[in-house]
Structure 1
Amino acid sequence: MTIIVKIGGSLTRDAAPRRLLARLAAEGGLVVVPGGGALADQVRAVQPQWDLSDAAAHRMALLSMEQMAHAMRDLEPRLLPARDRAELAAAVARGAALWFPAAMTLGRPDIAESWDVTSDSLALWLAAEMGAERLVLVKAPGTRIPAPLPAPSGGRAADIAAWTAMGLVDAAFATMAVRFTGDILAIPADDGDRLDAALRAKGRAAAINEETKEGSRLS
């Protein structure tokens, strides 16, 4: 079971997420996707100052994720760096992979070069590329989280639209989700029990049932 875990940029703007990275590094079969965080914020700030195009800003923001991956690797050396499919597959087989996204995403025609695409959508894109069974979006502590999105049977566009309206995911997330047939969960970083359940290597239906019950209690 391959799980993609995206660490929200908000978790990198203050103290380094050492405990979270250590928790993830102890797992096998997952890929950590870094958000751009404060580094991407600087791209947003400089774009209007320099009158940069969205395409240039998109590439710069992608590279901010690449830089954040270097930082996370320094904070938690057990995370195995991976830049392409072969390296990702090898790393996942050995432990927890850390995705350096630039090599796979810069200049891709199927990834729009705009602010509609953030690290959430890129994590979803990677989940589809790898045929992962689950995408876990780790959000800021205290974030109000709706019920998880199980694998689609008749489509889940309305649910994703609601997530987008809440600001939980970016505008391109719905488009990226068309290719992904696995589960999608969003979990606040301070809810260790839900994170443990999401990372547990067991049948998908059972895990989703547990998450739905927990999400109902918290909402």
Structure 2
Amino acid sequence: MTIIVKIGGSLTRGAAPRRLLARLAAEQGLVVVPGGGALADQVRAVQPQWGLSDGAAHRMALLAMEQMAHAMLDLEPGLLPARTPAELAAAAAKGAALWFPAAMTLGRAGIPESWDVTSDSLALWLAAELGAERLVLVKAPDAPLLPSSGDRAADIAAWSATGLVDAAFATMAVRFTGDILPLPADDGDRLDAALRTRARAAAINEETKEGSRPS
């Protein structure tokens, strides 16, 4: 099964995330979702200057994610570009897919055209569309991460209240039954654990058991 990994836009406002992209490209069964980051920031800046509608700004921000996907592919050619569900499934079966979101999301019914929907909610939407096992939200090291309470709805509400995710995230989460794991980009151990599918974790456990048996 697939794991969706969304790279927070905050990670694109400084040095290029080369190491993170290389780490993800080495995995199989992943779909990497780019945040709009610094490019989406420019949309936010120009919208009031030009008096643009939220719908236009939403579409422009989607294209900022598309541009960021081009940038990430240039930084890490080991990622496999994909634009449709069939392409994503084929790419994830071979390695780590990189989602170019415009083809699936521009003008798509069910995706509100407002700033309530950012790349976090779009990653969640994609996770539901693909029936993914898990959504991993890779955030900046200083992001306001809170310990899990064990109550999914309460956790998501807290994430929204602190600005960790956007306003539409809770609504989008209704369609997704998999795990949602926010984590800081500088915690390699948590990222390694999050990238293990249940099947992969079971295989690792079985290998460990086999290795511990006397010959």
Q: Same fold (TM over 0.5)?
A: yes
DSSP-derived class of the 2:109 partner: coil
User: How many angstroms does 1:149 deviate by?
Assistant: 8.2
Q: Which amino acid aligns with 1:29?
A: G
Q: Which residue of 2 aligns with 1:174?
A: 170
Distance 2:74 2:131 in 1: 28
User: How many angstroms does 1:144 deviate by?
Assistant: 3.5
Q: Which residue of 1 aligns with 2:4?
A: 4
TM-score by length of 2: 0.90
Q: Which residue of 1 aligns with 2:189?
A: 193
Q: Which residue of 1 aligns with 2:159?
A: 163
* Identity in percent: 84
User: How many angstroms does 1:131 deviate by?
Assistant: 0.1
Task: Deviation per CA, 1:35-74: give whole Å up to 9, x if none.
Answer: 0010000000000000000000000000000000000000
Gapped regions of structure 2 (runs ≥ 5): 203-215
Distance 1:156 1:193 in 2: 23
| Aligned residue runs from structure 1 range 85-164, under 5 A | 85-148=85-148, 156-164=152-160
Equivalent residues of 1:149, 1:183 under 8 A apart: no
Distance 2:7 2:111 in 1: 20
Distance 1:65 1:104 in 2: 12
Distance 1:204 1:116, change over 3 A: farther
Q: Which amino acid aligns with 1:62?
A: L
Distance 1:99 1:60 in 2: 17
TM-score by length of 1: 0.88
Task: Deviation per CA, 1:60-112: give whole Å up to 9, x if none.
Answer: 00000000000000000010000000000000001000000000000011000
Distance 1:134 1:149 in 2: 18
Gapped regions of structure 1 (runs ≥ 5): 207-219
Q: Which residue of 1 aligns with 2:71?
A: 71
Q: Which amino acid aligns with 2:12?
A: T
Rg (Cα) greater in structure = 2
Distance 2:129 2:59 in 1: 20
Equivalent residues of 1:148, 1:183 under 8 A apart: no
Task: State yes or no: 1:49 paired with 2:49.
Answer: yes
Distance 2:110 2:195 in 1: 29
